Structures are given as structure tokens and as C-alpha cells.
Amino acid sequence: MLTGQISAPGQILLSNIDIPEPGPKDILIKVRRAGICGTDIHILHGSYPAQYPLIPGHEFSGTIEMVGTSVTRFQPGDRVTADPNIACNRCENCQKNQINQCLDWQGIGITRAGGFADYVIAPEGNVYPIGSISFEEGAFIEPLACVIWGIQTIRPTIGDRTLIFGAGPMGCLIMQSLKAAGATEVTIVDRLPSRLKKAASLGADHTLLTEEAPSVLKNLAPHGFDIVTDATGSPSVVESCFQYVRARGKVWLFGVCTPDAKASFSPYEVFRKDLSIFGSYAVNRTFNESIELLRSGTVKVRPLLSHTLPLEDFAAAMRVAEHDPKRMKVQLYWD
């Protein structure tokens, strides 16, 4: 089978390898769509703890090709996606029901072979049926599940006025999810007018270019926003979140900064304004909610897809996902 690999930081290649055999509790999935995530770009540059050589790809959908001998819930031909987070189910964190913090965590497309390949293996417990959801939408279930884990963590309430930095695919998923969770107003800031247009078409109430944000935001919410979200992973943007959060407000760090990045904030201000700072890492059994948001049409993902390329163009697809100013979500596709 054909695979797209990152053999070492900075090195992309296509390689033909044997189709893997599913173990007794595993499922072999024929990949139909696989999304490229910011994490894959970090992995390419060696700024994310991955295991090389790696077949990346942790956002994918497809059909079941073969099931292991003790698999009971699925059969060949089923349309599925998979949660890439494989928890050990026996460490202290798993026992405390914190499986996304598993101490012996494995990630499909991070520490073991992922979906940038003709076939990928996932344990049965990680596989979810997608029903009539299209494959292109099905490859958004994982990123949306990450957003939902964050939403469950920060608990927005009805009437919240919210601000998001970053109108990329994740910022637009966060925007729609905040609204579904009760926020009445979402303002979104980005450097690119095309991304702001997309966000507006999906329901953002106010869209602002980065350079106009400081003055306009102070007029929009003189005392600040209830929830301020960073969806850029830029330390300077993280620092600026604190300027715009109201008393008793929440700062949600969703964007992935590099492991060595530092950002400063005023502890006095956090104390004086009763602020809360939240992180949310990956997915925590939030695939069912994600599937439901897509199935019901509550969250729309088709408009977020900007480029589709075949696996043969893996290197070009990674370049588009990192550099193309018109990019939103980039997916690999199989006919």
C-alpha cells in the first residue's frame, strides 16, 4: 500500500509497504479522506513529540476492510472514523477517567501509523460508525471532538460574549461550537480577510483584522469578554488574550504553542479579576457529541475544506497546509 511518511523532522517521502494485518481486537480501515492538522506541520518540523519514522494522519474516515477475530461491533464495508487516542486503561490517570492524560498514551498518526496511507489500523474500541455522514465531513469528526472537549472543560453559559483569535478551521469550529453551547455573540480576529469572510458566513457576529482589533475590541466590549480563546498557538496572541477578558472571565488556550514557548501574564490581574485559565488537550471521549453536531447540521464543516489532493501529492499537500494563504482545511482523498 502507498503511505505518506515523515521519516525524520523535515523529511517527507512516499513509500510502498505491506498492508498491515489487524490483531484480534483491531480493525483495518481503507482510508477515504484524511485531514492535515497543524499538529502534522509541527511533527514535520520536529516541534511535537512524535515517533519517527511516522505515517502521520489522525483525522480520517473510510470503510472497514477487515476486522480482527474478536471484533464484534463492526463488519467489512462499514463507514467509520477512529479516535486516534489510545489509552492504556490501567494507569492512574486512566483509572481517574482522564484518558486523554493517559501515562502510557499512544496516538494513531503521532506515535504509531496513521491515516496518510491506503489503510490504517485502529483498535475496535476507538472506531465509531459515521452512518450517512460523508467521508469529507467524517474526517472533521476528530478536530471537532477536540473542540468539544474544550467546550466541556470551559463550560460556556447562555448569554456569554466571546472572542476568538484565529479564524482558521479550528477557530471556525470553536465559533460554531460556542454558539451551540449558548454563547450569544462571537467576535473573531484574524490576519487574513478571506478567513474572516468564511467565519462571517458561518455565523460570526463580528470579524476583525488583527491590526484593527485593539481599538474596535475596546469599543465592542469596554469591560471585556466572558470567554477569550486563542486558536493561533502564538505566544504573543496568548499574552494579548488577557487584555480582553472581563472580570470572572475565562481564557481558553486551544492553539498549540511549541513545547518551549513562554508567555507572560499578570498574576495580580488573574487574582484581582477572578480570572480562570483553561487548557484542553486532544479528545476525551467526545466523538459521539462531535458526530451528533455534524449529523444534525448544528456545526457546518464543508465550507472549511479548501484543498483536496491525492496521497501521491502528500509533500505538496503539506506545503499547501503550511503556506498557502488561501488554505483552510486541507484533505487527502482516495477515489
Report the interface residues with Zn ion, using CB under 5 A. Answer: 37, 39, 87-88, 91, 94, 102
Shortest Cβ 102–Zn ion spacing (Å): 3
Taking the CB of residue 76, how many other CB atoms lie within 10 A of it?
12
Residue in the block written with cell 488561501: 326
**Residue closer to Zn ion, measured from CB, 169 or 249:** 169
**Residue closer to Zn ion, measured from CB, 107 or 249:** 107
Q: Taking the CA atoms of 149, 147, 178 and 129 in sequence, report the sign of the dihedral they define.
A: negative
**Residue closer to Zn ion, measured from CB, 28 or 94:** 94
**Residue 231 near residue 328, CB atoms below 8 Å:** no
Shortest Cβ 39–Zn ion spacing (Å): 4
**Residue closer to Zn ion, measured from CB, 110 or 220:** 110
Nearest to 254 by CA among 188, 308, 200, 323: 188
Answer whether the bond into residue 53 is a cis peptide, omega within 30°: yes
Shortest Cβ 53–Zn ion spacing (Å): 19
**Residue closer to Zn ion, measured from CB, 149 or 242:** 149
Nearest to 28 by CA among 60, 76, 72, 73: 76
**Residue closer to Zn ion, measured from CB, 127 or 183:** 127
Nearest to 304 by CA among 146, 145, 175: 175
User: Torsion angle, CA of 156/161/167/172, rounded to 10 degrees?
Assistant: 50
Shortest Cβ 114–Zn ion spacing (Å): 10
**Residue closer to Zn ion, measured from CB, 19 or 91:** 91
Shortest Cβ 19–Zn ion spacing (Å): 25
Return the SS3 of 101. Answer: helix
Shortest Cβ 97–Zn ion spacing (Å): 11
Shortest Cβ 282–Zn ion spacing (Å): 8
**Residue 121 near residue 28, CB atoms below 8 Å:** yes
**Residue 136 near residue 331, CB atoms below 8 Å:** yes
